[in-house]
Chains A and B, each alone.
Chain A
Amino acid sequence: MTKINLAELNIKQAHELLQNGSLSARELADFYLENIKKHDNKIHAYLEVFDDVLEKAGEVDREIKKGKEVPLLAGIPVAVKDNILIKNKKCSAGSKMLEGFVAPYSAGVIKKLEHEGVIFLGRTNMDEFAMGSSTENSAFGPTRNPYDLDRVPGGSSGGSAAAVAQQMSLAALGSDTGGSIRQPASFCRVVGLKPTYGAVSRFGLIAMASSFDQIGPLAKSVEDAEIIFNVIKGRDSFDATSIDGGSTSAGRSNLPVENLVLGVPKEIYDFDGENSGIDQSVVAAFQQTIETLKALGIKIKQVGLPSLKHVMEVYYIIMPAETSSNLARYDGIKYGFFKKGENLLADYMKTREHGFGAEVRRRILLGTFVLSAGYYDAYYGQAQKIRRLMRKEFEKIFSEIDIILSPTSPTPPFKIGEKIDDPVKMYLADIFTVAANLTGAPAISVPAGPGGAQFMAPWFEEEKLFNIAKILEKNL
Chain B
Amino acid sequence: MAVSKEEIKKLSILARLGISEKEINSLRTDLDKILDFVSGLKSASAAEAPLEGFVGNVLRDDKEGHAAGEYSAALMEQATEKEKGYIKVKKVLPDGRQGFDD
Contacts and interface: CB of A to CB of B under 8 A. Distances in A.
Contacts of B8: 365
Contact of B79 (A334, A349, A389): A334
B58 interface: yes
B16 A382 contact: no
A334 B78 contact: yes
Contact of A324 (B15, B38, B48): B15
Contact of B17 (A105, A343, A365): A365
Contacts of B48: 385
Interface stretch (A62-70, A213-221, A250-258, A311-319): A311-319
Interface residues of A, number: 61
A405 B16 CA distance: 42
Interface in B22-45: 27, 30-31, 33-35, 37-42, 44
B47 interface: yes
Q: Interface size for chain B: under 10, 10 to 19, 20 to 34, or 35 or more residues?
A: 35 or more
Interface string A139-157: 0000000000000000000
B77 interface: yes
A353 B52 CA distance: 38
Contacts of A317: 38, 41
Q: Say what secondary structure dominates the interface of chain B.
A: loop
A346 B33 contact: no
A96 interface: no
A324 B60 CA distance: 28
A365 B27 contact: yes
A159 to B, nearest CB: 24
B68 interface: no
B12 A336 contact: no
Interface of A: 100-102, 104-105, 198, 237, 240-241, 243, 248, 309-310, 312-314, 316-317, 324, 328, 331-336, 338, 343-350, 352-354, 356, 361-362, 364-366, 368-369, 372, 378-379, 382-383, 385-386, 388-389, 391-392, 422-424, 427
27 contacts: A312-B37, A316-B34, A316-B38, A333-B81, A333-B87, A333-B89, A334-B79, A343-B90, A343-B94, A345-B13, A348-B16, A349-B18, A352-B15, A353-B19, A361-B27, A362-B27, A365-B8, A366-B34, A366-B35, A379-B41, A383-B41, A385-B48, A386-B41, A388-B50, A389-B49, A392-B49, A424-B33
